[in-house]
Amino acid sequence: MSHSASHIIETLSADQEIWFISDLHLGDGTPSDVFFGKDKHLIALLNRVERDDAILVINGDAMDFHQAWTFTRIMRAHQELLHSMSRLSREGRLYYLIGNHDHDISLYREILNFRVCEELHIGDNILVQHGYQYDPYIGDNLSSSHTATKIHHLVERYFNTWVRIPLAEFYTRGNRLLFWMAHKVAITMMITAGLLDKFGLPEAKERLFEHLAFWARANSGDPMCMFRGVWARLQSDRWKHIVCGHSHLPGIVPIDGRSYLNSGSWTFSNAQYLRWDGSSFECRDWVTGATFNDELYQANLDGSLDELNFFTWWHENYLGWFRFREGEERRGKIRAWEAHIRGHQRQHGLTPLKDNRQKSNTKIAKQSHTE
């Protein structure tokens, strides 16, 4: 392990089985806890890692202090799960990378015995980071997003709604109103652009338009707008594989003989993981068994997002009277999270996939590695 005053790097050998999960967002067990009570499913995965004599990497945001407020509330809601994680850590089988929702490193070391770092190097070819480093609005400044995130969770908690993207998946009144208001603010900024320039505030307009462009791109297939940053790192650095979380978008994406891998999330009805068997990766959902290649990344790969801005997205989607094309097309279709939004008992009753030992066809070509 190497570390400076602000950056801790751990290393692992690549010739072993390693599992990756991220973005559990364990909260306080109330309806706004987006982990949705899948404790037994995750405990089953932890047991599988232990049986296989493997390593588990939790790639950030396992706990959501912005939602739960205190560690005590998380412990009360997920005590058995956290106990299982702590046991695995004491056996030397769990590494924890810090995320943007769980930034208090000392808490994990002292209470849960987690081996915490900001970056993990596996062999010579694999770099693991949570992914906020590639988020243009967070980057290396974790403190910049805390206030806004806390307000977001308070709104969801007290108004009993979801304010999230993509809009098509979370087609709530609050979300629709938020997009509508953003458009009106943008129009006002355009009309008053001359006044803003006159009073020496042109940066305010530019920041708003940049944020709205970020919002449109994130809504349309590049959550947290990470993809371009990871792509640039793969082109310019020595790493053959970069593993992230943060965006909640699972997949294995080949890029010019290298690969970007994302472990997805365990929020709502998701339960995704990555698995490295010593030579190649697979990406699956623990409960459903679904496999993920690069199908969720096509809009990034084909360049269709490159020219997208908020006004382009608005003209393509807004139908009037707070209706949006991408949301209206989903009307009448059951969303994955809707069946479980208040049904924690149903989630507890689900049985984890039984054939998880079966190797997926979703693998990238074997890569050489040097320890």
Backbone angles phi, psi at 323, to 5 degrees: -110, 140
Q: Tell me, what's the pLDDT at 5?
A: 39
Q: In what order do the strands lie in the sheet with 258-262?
A: 2-3, 8-12, 119-122, 126-128, 241-244, 258-262, 251-255
CA separation for the pair 211, 253 (Å, rounded)? 26
pLDDT at 109 exceeding the cut of 80:
no
Backbone angles phi, psi at 198, to 5 degrees: -65, -40
Residues 26-61 as b or e (16 or more Cβ within 10 Å = b): bbbbeebbbbbbbbebbbbbbebbbeeebbbbbbbb
In the chain, alpha helices (H): 39-51, 65-68, 71-77, 79-90, 105-107, 146-159, 173-191, 193-198, 202-219, 227-236, 298-301, 310-317, 325-328, 344-349
Check residues 302 and 351 and name the one with the higher pLDDT: 302
pLDDT at 128 exceeding the cut of 90:
yes
Q: Tell me, what's the pLDDT at 114?
A: 85
Q: Tell me, what's the pLDDT at 367?
A: 44
Chain centroid, CA 190 distance in Å: 33
Check residues 337 and 71 and name the one with the higher pLDDT: 71
DSSP 8-state secondary structure symbol assigned to residue 364:
P
Asked if CATH classification 3.60.21.10 holds for the domain at 2-349, the reply, yes or no, is: yes
Pairing label, strands 251-255, 258-262? antiparallel
The predicted model gives 121-137 an average pLDDT of 95
Token pair 């205190």 is found at 70
Backbone angles phi, psi at 311, to 5 degrees: -70, -35
pLDDT at 249 exceeding the cut of 90:
yes
Q: Tell me, what's the pLDDT at 217?
A: 94
In 22-145, alpha helices (H): 39-51, 65-68, 71-77, 79-90, 105-107
Q: Quote the radius of gyration of the chain (alpha carbons, Å).
A: 21
Report the 3 state secondary structure along 9-49: EEEECCCCCEEEECCCCECCCCCCCCCCCCHHHHHHHHHHH
Q: Tell me, what's the pLDDT at 161?
A: 86
Cα dihedral: 36, 37, 38, 43 (round 10): 150
Q: Tell me, what's the pLDDT at 337?
A: 56
Check residues 270 and 357 and name the one with the higher pLDDT: 270
Q: Tell me, what's the pLDDT at 208?
A: 80
CA separation for the pair 174, 72 (Å, rounded)? 30
Peptide bond into 166 cis (omega under 30): yes
Token pair 């993509």 is found at 166
* The dihedral sign for the CA sequence 50, 51, 53, 55: negative
Domains of the chain, residue spans: 2-349
Q: How many residues does the chain have?
A: 371
Q: Tell me the whole-structure pTM to 2 decimals.
A: 0.87
Q: Tell me, what's the pLDDT at 338?
A: 54
Q: What would the pLDDT profile of 6-19 be if each residue is shown by its tens digit? A: 688 999 999 999 99
Average pLDDT of every residue of the chain: 85
Check residues 115 and 193 and name the one with the higher pLDDT: 115
